[in-house]
Structure 1
Amino acid sequence: MSLTGTWNITISTPIGTQSAVLEFTDHGGVLEGIAKGNTETIPLTELVRDGNRLIWKQSITKPMRLNLTFDVIIDGDTLTGTSKAGMLPSSKVTGTRVVESGQQI
């Protein structure tokens, strides 16, 4: 199952729901990604894929400076899991793959 492509995600945080767009690419068998929010584009680091489970880290500066760790399960064109920021409680993450008309996955 390929993870490459664009994913719309929603994170239910203590300060409200946050949205982002993830873009995953494969460069010679190496998975890479970026997250795009309203005000910044962040590289995803330490991506680890184990079957349909994907873990990565990213650092954001808005709405506040945080180091996040994501742990999600991909099921076809959907993903569910958590995001954790330090000592804060885990936040629920959900997302869907963006499928453009005529595109086959």
Structure 2
Amino acid sequence: MSIAGTFDITAKTPVGEQPGVFVFVVEGERLTGSFTTPKGTVDLTDGKIIGNKLDFFTKIPTPMGKMKAHITGAVEGNQLTAVAKLQLGSAQIHGIRREEA
């Protein structure tokens, strides 16, 4: 199964659990898309995939401005498991692929 799709996620951050949505677009081994939180939507950058593994950067909107995050993880079936490396530590990310309408 492809990594491409929409995933509803929960990130366990140093300031508590945060909801969000990743939209992954795959072109060959290139990964693009977006990350939406209650504070807004940002693009994914420098993304790549190898098999079911993903690696990309994004900027997370926070009350203190946008914080750069390096996210690595994998998609197994409809499950996303990843880690975001942040300036203030790291966050565990778990997500589930949305059903296509």
Does the alignment reach a TM-score above 0.5? yes
Gaps of 5+ in 1: none
Aligned to 1:3: 3
Aligned to 1:53: 53
Q: Which whole-Å CA distance do the structure 2 matches of 1:89 and 1:39 have between them? A: 20
Q: Equivalent residue of 2:100, what SS?
A: coil
Aligned length: 99
**When you count strand as a share of all residues, which structure comes out higher?**
2
Change in 2 beyond 3 A, CA 1:51/1:26: closer
Change in 2 beyond 3 A, CA 1:15/1:53: same
**Which segment is superposed worse, 67-76 or 56-65?**
56-65
Aligned to 1:18: 18
Q: Tell me how far 1:64 sits from its aligned partner.
A: 3.2
Aligned: 1:68 with 2:69: yes
Change in 2 beyond 3 A, CA 1:9/1:63: farther
Larger Rg: 1
Q: Which whole-Å CA distance do the structure 1 matches of 2:60 and 2:82 have between them? A: 19
Q: Tell me how far 1:80 sits from its aligned partner.
A: 0.8
Gaps of 5+ in 2: none
Q: Which whole-Å CA distance do the structure 2 matches of 1:11 and 1:20 have between them? A: 8
Task: Name the TM-score, length of structure 2 as normaliser.
Answer: 0.86
Task: Name the TM-score, length of structure 1 as normaliser.
Answer: 0.83
Structure 1 residues 16-70: Cα deviation after superposition (integer angstroms, max 9, x where no partner): 111111112245x443210111121100001111111101101123233310111
Q: Which runs of 4+ in 1 moved over 3 A?
A: none
